């Protein structure tokens, strides 16, 4: 008998869908399997197709969820080189704009395909209609949580999962044996290339499955028509049976290797849970691809397999290095240190020594919170190297260490030596230029920031360093009174890392930093709460900074208990690796004290922030601390402002505020409040107005 699907009433669903299309970027049809979500999406797509340049379908499956970009591999080419942000940018450019994007079973998308969908929605390049079961992963739930799409519930009365499962089981049992054989292979991996499916079964079997309505053919791909069919088949086959079929499929895929990155990753993932051993070089290559694309968990699995099967020292070295990166970037510094410790550095060639020393030093500095040990290790390793290029690369990392340790002037000097060197490769330039950009900003050399950031970007600087140079740029923009541009820049920086952690969390920290100046505390608090949770397992210096800013935001919002908790966490996580942000920690204390009603301690802490910034030469940060000090009522700030010799919009406003406050001149304070409002500094404007009236 046919399956008795209980379908949700269409009128209400279509009303919700239409509302999403008119008022937002689209709609999400949410509900259990079998209530007609895909059917509604297909009907809507047919009706709306003529309004768009192109209609694009993406379907998530349990198989594609395990492989980066697998759900969109039929639409875009994944390059053999380039990191996640570059790949996402190229993918979005390739798809273009004015799209109607239908995402079926979105809860089964891999994280990178989900990130691409999110970007297409955020950028306005696509209107979305997606279907999903709930609860959905955070990557997908963000689409309605962030207000990008309208959430439309589809849960019809009379729907029963158990009843439906029984009916599906009975229905499939009545299908021809050869059609069931086709479904069994799709239960291992859906979709499959039609050529592979025909080779594993036969052409008549595929035709029968298609006639029975359990398999669709879309171009070169064959896929099951409903996810419930696959889950039912898997339950019927059982684990051992699925493993035997997976062995056969891996042997088929390995016999004719595909050139595409996603195809290679797909084969490697299938092999992990089979009894078929791929060549170690192929597994290691897949681990490196997964690392490059940002799937750290998959990279770890593949790298462990490569380590286990390594037959020579060179391959084992490369596999251990890949595994160490995958672990460290997940914030698992101790495990990464253990893996790196399995490498005997005494026998390494110079290029290997360099490849090992960089993650070893970085892991010690950030993930293990052992900056002194990392700095000493870097110095000792440099003495073992004879290549000028290798030495200059270590110097670039040393510059980054110096900046984070609270010595931006020294860091800038080291970075400039690297940038002036003819031996600096892209890695060295990336580290040095991003360090120089942030150091220049905090030192008050705003005119150099964009040049340094451009050099960093031009070098294709690795990983999260784009946020380091970006923080320098947003700092310069804030100090020159261009707050809206600062927020726009952060959006641009994070655009191509949407949903991917810890990139999104760091982007939220930068956004919140601007929001604090604008006085939009509730928005900042929301972002920082998420950011602190995401950064907690990592050792990045952004983690302590996030807690510092959260304490400042909560304090200014008048929430003393929560501010105190955030301050405590900031203090416990702060150390030499985040000493650059010592002034921000003192400001966190100041605003926490203010929220508690302790004005004397608040002012003392703000003055401590000024001193900490001045001692480390961070003139711009000193100015920002003085700004907060004046807001807190410091009538003696004028003298310190004279020492902060920095001519910029932020400085002029703070100076005039301080002079008016010291003179007790209400009219001038009101005038300053008006100027604050003009540049978007609402909280400072309110403080100046309050001071004028008291």
Q: Is the pLDDT of residue 458 over 90?
A: no
Which residue range forms the structural domain that includes residue 689?
Answer: 598-694
Q: CA 352, CA 372: separation in Å to the nearest integer?
A: 24
The alpha carbons of the chain give a radius of gyration, in whole angstroms, of 29
C-alpha distance from residue 407 to each of 358, 594, 615 (Å): 21, 29, 10
| DSSP class per residue in 100-138 | EEEEETGGG--HHHHHHHHHHHHTTSEEEEEEE-SSPPH
* Lateral strand order in the sheet of 99-104: 54-59, 99-104, 126-132, 26-30, 150-153
Does residue 323 fall inside a structural domain?
yes
Across all residues in the chain, what is the average pLDDT? 92
Does residue 295 fall inside a structural domain?
yes
Residue 78 and residue 198 in one domain: no
Q: What pTM was estimated for this model as a whole?
A: 0.87
Residue 309 and residue 343 in one domain: yes
Give the model's pLDDT for residue 1.
46
Mean pLDDT within 5-31: 87
Closest by CA position to 583, among listed 636, 629, 539, 639: 629
Mean pLDDT within 329-339: 91
C-alpha distance from residue 497 to each of 103, 130, 137 (Å): 20, 21, 17
pLDDT digit string, tens, across residues 576-620: 999 999 999 999 999 999 999 999 999 999 999 999 999 999 999
Give the model's pLDDT for residue 495.
66
Q: CA 390, CA 352: separation in Å to the nearest integer?
A: 11
Does residue 305 fall inside a structural domain?
yes
pLDDT digit string, tens, across residues 61-114: 999 999 999 999 888 888 877 777 777 888 888 888 999 999 999 999 998 899
Q: Are 183 and 229 in contact (CB under 8 A)?
A: yes
User: Domain with 360 in it: what CATH number?
Assistant: 1.25.40
Q: Is the pLDDT of residue 496 over 60?
A: no
Question: Residue 132's pLDDT band (boundaries 50, 70, 90)?
Answer: very high
C-alpha distance from residue 344 to each of 320, 339, 348, 349, 605 (Å): 12, 11, 7, 11, 48
What residues contact residue 397 under an 8 Å CB cut-off, 6+ apart?
358, 361, 362, 378, 431
Backbone angles phi, psi at 318, to 5 degrees: -65, -40
Q: CA 411, CA 288: separation in Å to the nearest integer?
A: 31
Mean pLDDT within 552-573: 97
Tokens found for residue 332? 């698992």
Mean pLDDT within 636-656: 92
Which H, E and C letters describe 419-450, residue by residue?
HHCCCCCHHHHHHHHHHHHHHHHHHCCHHHHH
Where among 333, 362, 386 does a domain terminate?
A: 386
Strand partners, 215: 224
Instruction: For CA atoms 319, 325, 330, 336, give the dihedral sign.
Output: positive
Residue 180 and residue 316 in one domain: no
- 90-92-98-103 Cα dihedral, nearest 10 degrees: 140
Residue 185 and residue 262 in one domain: yes
Say whether 158 sits in a helix, a strand or coil: coil
Residue 109 and residue 234 in one domain: no
Q: Are 340 and 375 in contact (CB under 8 A)?
A: no
Residue 602 and residue 688 in one domain: yes
C-alpha distance from residue 464 to each of 333, 471, 501, 570 (Å): 17, 11, 10, 21
Q: Are 362 and 398 in contact (CB under 8 A)?
A: no
Q: Is the pLDDT of residue 497 over 70?
A: no
Where among 238, 272, 306 does a domain terminate?
A: 272
Does residue 585 fall inside a structural domain?
no
Q: CA 303, CA 307: separation in Å to the nearest integer?
A: 6
Residue 221 and residue 116 in one domain: no
How buried is residue 621: exposed, middle or buried, by Cβ count under 10 Å (0-12/13-18/19+)? buried
Strand partners, 368: none
Residue 19 and residue 136 in one domain: yes
Q: Is the pLDDT of residue 420 over 70?
A: yes
Q: CA 182, CA 365: separation in Å to the nearest integer?
A: 53
Q: CA 534, CA 583: separation in Å to the nearest integer?
A: 23
* Lateral strand order in the sheet of 192-193: 192-193, 221-224, 215-218
C-alpha distance from residue 565 to each of 551, 562, 592 (Å): 8, 5, 10
Question: Residue 298's pLDDT band (boundaries 50, 70, 90)?
Answer: very high
Does residue 444 fall inside a structural domain?
no
Backbone angles phi, psi at 127, to 5 degrees: -100, 135
User: Domain with 241 in it: what CATH number?
Assistant: 1.10.10
Closest by CA position to 403, among listed 355, 455, 441: 441
Question: Rounded to 5 degrees, what angle do the CA atoms 381, 386, 391 make?
Answer: 55
Q: CA 392, CA 414: separation in Å to the nearest integer?
A: 10
Residue 21 and residue 140 in one domain: yes
Residue 26 and residue 152 in one domain: yes
User: Domain with 151 in it: what CATH number?
Assistant: 3.40.50.300
Which H, E and C letters describe 254-322, residue by residue?
HHCCCCCHHHHHHHHHHHHCCCCCCCHHHHHHHHHHHHHCCCHHHHHHHHHHHHHHCCCHHHHHHHHHH
Tokens found for residue 125? 């390049």
Give the model's pLDDT for residue 504.
84
Question: Rounded to 5 degrees, what angle do the CA atoms 64, 291, 193 make?
Answer: 30
Q: CA 78, CA 91: separation in Å to the nearest integer?
A: 8
Where among 130, 159, 188 does a domain terminate?
A: 159
Say whether 60 sits in a helix, a strand or coil: coil
Total domains present in the chain: 4
Q: CA 603, CA 543: separation in Å to the nearest integer?
A: 26
Does residue 220 fall inside a structural domain?
yes
Say whether 369 sits in a helix, a strand or coil: coil
Q: Is the pLDDT of residue 498 over 70?
A: no
Residue 152 and residue 168 in one domain: no
Helix (H) or strand (E) holding 192: strand 192-193
pLDDT digit string, tens, across residues 479-494: 999 999 999 999 888 7
Does residue 608 fall inside a structural domain?
yes
Residue 371 and residue 332 in one domain: yes
Strand partners, 192: 222
Strand partners, 390: none
Does residue 417 fall inside a structural domain?
no
The Cα diameter of the chain in Å comes to 93
């Amino acid at each position: 008998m046919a399956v008795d699907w209980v379908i949700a009433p269409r009128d209400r669903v279509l009303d919700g869908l239409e509302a999403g299309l008119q008022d937002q970027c689209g709609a999400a049809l949410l509900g259990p399997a079998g209530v007609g979500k895909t059917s509604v999406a297909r009907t809507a797509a047919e009706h709306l197709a003529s309004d768009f340049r192109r209609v694009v379908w993406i379907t998530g499956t349990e198989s594609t969820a395990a492989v980066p970009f697998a759900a969109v591999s039929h639409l875009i080419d994944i390059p053999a080189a380039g990191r996640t942000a570059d790949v996402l940018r190229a993918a979005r450019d390739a798809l273009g704009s004015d799209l109607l994007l239908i995402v079926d079973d979105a809860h089964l998308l891999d994280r990178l395909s989900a990130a691409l969908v999110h970007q297409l929605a955020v950028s306005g390049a696509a209107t979305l209609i997606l279907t999903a079961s709930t609860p959905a992963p955070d990557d997908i739930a963000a689409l309605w949580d962030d207000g990008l799409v309208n959430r439309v519930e589809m849960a019809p009365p009379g729907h029963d999962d158990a009843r439906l499962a029984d009916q599906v089981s009975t229905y499939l049992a009545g299908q021809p044996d050869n059609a069931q054989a086709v479904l069994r292979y799709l239960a291992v991996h859906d979709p499959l290339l039609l050529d592979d499916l025909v080779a594993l079964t036969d052409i008549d079997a595929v035709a029968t499955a298609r006639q029975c309505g359990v398999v669709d053919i879309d171009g070169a791909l064959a896929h099951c028509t409903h996810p419930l069919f696959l889950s039912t088949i898997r339950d019927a086959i059982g684990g051992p049976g699925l493993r035997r079929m997976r062995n056969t499929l891996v042997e088929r895929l390995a016999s004719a290797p595909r050139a595409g990155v996603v195809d290679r990753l797909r084969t490697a993932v299938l092999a992990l849970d089979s009894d078929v051993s791929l060549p170690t070089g192929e597994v290691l290559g897949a681990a490196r691809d997964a690392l490059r694309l940002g799937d750290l968990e998959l990279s770890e699995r593949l790298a462990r397999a490569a380590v286990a099967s390594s037959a020579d020292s060179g391959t084992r070295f490369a596999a251990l290095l890949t595994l160490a990166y995958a672990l460290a970037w997940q914030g698992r510094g101790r495990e990464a240190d253990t893996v790196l410790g399995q490498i005997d550095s005494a026998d390494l060639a110079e290029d290997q020594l360099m490849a090992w020393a960089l993650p070893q030093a970085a892991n010690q500095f950030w993930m293990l919170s052992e900056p002194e040990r990392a700095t000493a290790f870097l110095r000792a390793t440099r003495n073992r190297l004879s290549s000028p290029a290798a030495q200059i690369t270590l110097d670039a990392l040393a510059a980054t260490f110096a900046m984070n340790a609270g010595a931006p002037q020294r860091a800038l000097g080291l970075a400039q030596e690297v940038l002036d060197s003819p031996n600096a490769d892209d890695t060295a330039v990336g580290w040095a230029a991003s360090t120089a950009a942030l150091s220049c900003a905090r030192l008050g050399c705003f005119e150099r920031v964009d040049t340094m950031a451009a050099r960093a970007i031009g070098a294709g600087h690795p990983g999260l360093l784009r946020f380091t140079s970006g923080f320098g740029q947003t700092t310069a923009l804030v100090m020159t009174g261009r707050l809206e541009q600062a927020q726009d820049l952060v959006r641009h920086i994070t655009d191509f890392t949407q949903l991917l952690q810890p990139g999104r969390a760091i982007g939220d920290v930068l956004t919140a930093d601007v929001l604090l100046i604008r006085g939009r505390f509730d928005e900042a608090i929301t972002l920082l709460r998420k950011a602190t949770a995401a950064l907690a397992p990592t050792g990045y210096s952004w983690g302590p900074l996030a807690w510092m800013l959260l304490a400042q935001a909560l304090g200014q919002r008048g929430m003393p208990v929560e501010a105190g908790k955030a301050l405590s966490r900031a203090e416990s996580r702060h150390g030499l690796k985040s000493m650059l942000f010592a002034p921000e920690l003192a400001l966190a204390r100041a605003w926490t004290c203010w929220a508690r009603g302790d004005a004397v301690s608040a002012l003392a802490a703000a003055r401590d922030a000024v001193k900490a910034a001045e001692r480390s030469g961070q003139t711009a940060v000193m100015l920002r601390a003085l700004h907060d000090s004046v807001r807190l009522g410091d009538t003696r700030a004028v003298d310190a402002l004279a020492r902060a010799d920095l001519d910029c919009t932020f400085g002029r406003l703070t100076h005039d505020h301080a002079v008016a406050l010291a003179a007790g001149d209400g009219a001038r304070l009101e005038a300053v409040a008006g100027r604050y409002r003009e540049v978007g500094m609402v909280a400072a404007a309110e403080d100046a107005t309050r001071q004028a009236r008291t």
